[in-house]
Every structure is written in structure tokens, then in C-alpha cells.
Amino acid sequence: MDYRKQFFVSPGEKLSLAGIDPAHTGGQASAEEALPEIQKHVARMAELQALLYADGNQSLLVVLQALDAAGKDGVIRHLFTGMNPQGTSVFGFKQPSAEEAAHDFLWRAHQRTPAKGEVAVFNRSHYEDVLVVRVHNLVPKAVWSKRYALISDFEKLLVQNGTRILKFFLHISPEEQLSRFKLRLDDPARNWKISEGDYSEREFWSAYVSAYEEALSKTSSKEAPWYVIPANHKWFRNLAISQIIADSMQEMGLKLPPTRVDLKEIAAKYHAAEAAQEQRVAKTPKPADRTEKRGGKA
Ligand code: AMP
Ligand code: MG
């Protein structure tokens, strides 16, 4: 199954999240069955990241958006493990700092976009400014409603500069969220993840759904696609996202850069250095001899 086709949000088309089953598993029977396939995609992602870094002409931006406990952290932990930290960054978007809030809403996102050769993962993103901001009326409608077009222009700028953009909405049901909250409560190792906001935000579920529906359909495009990923089952979420990322990176036409030197000349230099090294070794007294001399003096 090509998940890029299946989960792509059609640009401009009215999106109904209610029509997408968060528990969908696409005929895949079980986590055990999916695991080897996930591992294969994760390995491809890692290989392609090394190539992206060497190539140095393009970059990749992965945007993860979702309600609490939908698995943004899990996606990062499970799928980006193979990538070299040199050339990869993850940034979590929290409530804006005073300095961030004093700038335009794209300012902080632009500072974190990937340079050529790099991969950047946004855990939440500039989309919060048409999601939480809209749901809680943090700015007037006249302000947030103009942001969809600004976001699309911003992303167009990145694309034209060589950035591949992939945006994922992790779609879970309220029931699944509650069962994950229970896990956070019952497991001392997860207690730290609990915030008051977890429960108060649940009250706004339907407002978030409307905000997501509008944001996704207004800002999805062939160049900067949104994918709605059924995420009640963590393994299926990982399978779909890893396939989409690996397939998209495969299409970037990444290649090792051409050699910058005359290989024949360098080979000659290497052989000369090797010969000089051998001569040095031949002239240097063996460590055992020196020990004997020192021993003799004492
Ligand atoms: P978490 O991802 O659980 O660490 O929580 C981060 C919190 O920061 C979430 O509640 C987000 O909604 C909030 N947040 C992120 N960006 C913004 C923003 N631009 N304005 C207001 N709140 C934000
Ligand atoms: Mg949270």
C-alpha cells in the first residue's frame, strides 16, 4: 500500500476527520508482522539521511502535529534513531517566550528550519498559531485567519530553497487519548509527562478538530503535503510515517557529491606518505630496545 496516496490531504478539499478511522490498520494483521517492515524503512531513512548530508544541496523538514498523547514523541524516538545526530535536529515548540512573542509568528520557526544537508523535525510547529491560538482566541480571528496564506508562502519559500517538507497529523480518538492518560497516571516513569493542560484541552476536542480540518486542507499541497495518520495503533502509525518519509527521501535524487580532487594525484601523495612512514618506522628503535637501555643505566 502506498500510504502517501492513501493519507494525503487533498489541497483545498473540505477535510472531515470524523470520516477517517483512527484505529485503521490497513489490513496489516499485527505489530509483529509490521516490525520488520518498519525496520526496513527506518534503515532506508538512515541511509538516505547520510546521503542528504553528503549531497549538501537539499534539506528535509518533518512537521509533527497532534493533540496530547497522540505519539509525536514516540515517532521521533522510534523512527529517527538511525539518523546521524550530526545533521539532524529536533525542536519542540512550546508557548512562545517573551522574545518570540514580540516577533511575527513565523520568526521562531524560520530560525529552526534545516540548512542544506540537514534534517529538522518540528515537534509541534508554526501551525500552533492557527490551532491552539485559534481555539483559545489568543489573537483575534482577523489575525489568525490570514495566517494560512502566510504559512503557505513561508513553506513555498523553503521549498524553493531546496527543502522537502512532510507534515503529519497523528489522528487518535478521545478514548485512546484517555487510556494513554491513564498510563501516564499509573506508570511512575511517565508521571512527569502529565500536565493540567492534558485534561483542560480535552474539553476543546471538537474545536481542535475544526481548527485542524481547516488548517490541513488550506495548507496541504503537492510541495508541502499534509498526511492524516491513523495513530490509535502505535505500530501502524510508525509503519505509515516511516514508509512515507523513506519513499519521499528516495525521490529527492540525492547523490554523493563529485570528487573535489584529482584522485591520481592524491593516490601518488598517499603512496609517498606511506613510503615515508615506513622509513620512519624502520629508523625508530623498537620500544623493547629503549627499555633495555633505560634498564641498563639504572
Ligand atoms: P507539549 O508539546 O506537551 O510539551 O506542550 C507544549 C504546549 O505549548 C502545548 O500546549 C502547545 O499548545 C503550546 N504552544 C505551542 N505553540 C504555541 C503558541 N504559538 N501559542 C500558544 N501555545 C503554544
Ligand atoms: Mg503535552
Tell the residue nearest (CA) to atom 8 of ligand 1. 94
Atom of ligand 1 nearest to the CA of 129: 19
Residues 159 and 270 in one domain: no
Residue 257 lies in a domain: no
H or E element in which residue 136 lies: none
Residues 185 and 158 in one domain: yes
H or E element in which residue 94 lies: none
Cell of 174: 478521545
Q: Whole domain around residue 286: which residue ranges?
A: 263-293
Ligand 1: residue of 75, 107, 124 to mutate (most ligand atoms within 8 A of CB) is 124
Q: Which of 33, 13, 16, 14 is nearest to 25 (CA)?
A: 33
Give the ligand with the smallest distance to the CA of 100.
1
State whether residue 150 is helix, strand or coil. Answer: helix
74 CA to centre of ligand 2 in angstroms: 13
Residues 215 and 289 in one domain: no
Residues 164 and 284 in one domain: no
State whether residue 295 is helix, strand or coil. Answer: helix
Tell the residue nearest (CA) to atom 1 of ligand 1. 94
On the CB side of 86, how many CA atoms lie within 13 Å of its CA?
5
Residue 258 lies in a domain: no
193 CA to centre of ligand 2 in angstroms: 7
Residue 255 lies in a domain: no
Quote the pLDDT of residue 285.
87
Residues 243 and 270 in one domain: no
Residues 198 and 229 in one domain: yes
Residues 152 and 281 in one domain: no
Tens place of pLDDT for every residue, the chain, 298 residues? 999 999 999 998 899 999 999 999 988 778 999 999 999 999 999 999 999 999 999 999 999 999 999 999 999 999 999 999 999 999 999 999 999 999 999 999 999 999 999 999 999 999 999 999 999 999 999 999 999 999 999 999 999 999 999 999 999 999 999 999 999 999 999 999 999 999 999 999 999 999 999 999 999 999 999 999 999 999 999 999 999 999 999 999 999 999 999 999 999 999 999 999 999 999 998 776 555 555 444 4
Quote the pLDDT of residue 291.
54
32 CA to centre of ligand 1 in angstroms: 34
Asked whether the beta carbons of 3 and 231 are under 8 A apart, the reply is no
Report CA Rg, the chain: 26
Residues 178 and 102 in one domain: yes
Residue 256 lies in a domain: no
Which contacts of 93-97 are long-range, i.e. CB under 8 A and separated by 24 or more positions?
A: 93/122, 93/123, 93/124, 93/125, 93/126, 93/128, 94/124
Residue 298 lies in a domain: no
Give the ligand with the smallest distance to the CA of 68.
2
Question: Buried (b) or exposed (e) across 244-280, using 16+ Cβ within 10 A?
Answer: bbbebbeebebeeeeeeeeeeeeeeeeeeeeeeeeee
Residues 115 and 20 in one domain: yes
CATH number of the domain within which 64 lies:
3.40.50.300
Residues 178 and 268 in one domain: no
Residue 23 lies in a domain: yes
Residue 8 lies in a domain: yes
Atom of ligand 1 nearest to the CA of 126: 19
Ligand 1: residue of 68, 73, 93 to mutate (most ligand atoms within 8 A of CB) is 93
Residues 274 and 216 in one domain: no
Tell me phi and psi for residue 194, to 5 degrees: -70, 135
Residue 103 lies in a domain: yes
125 CA to centre of ligand 1 in angstroms: 9
Instruction: Count up the domains in the chain and report the number.
Output: 2
Q: What is the value of pTM for the model shown? A: 0.93
The residues lining ligand 1, judged by C-beta closer than 6 Å to any ligand atom, are 92-96, 124, 128-129, 132-133, 197
Residues 208 and 271 in one domain: no
Give the ligand with the smallest distance to the CA of 129.
1
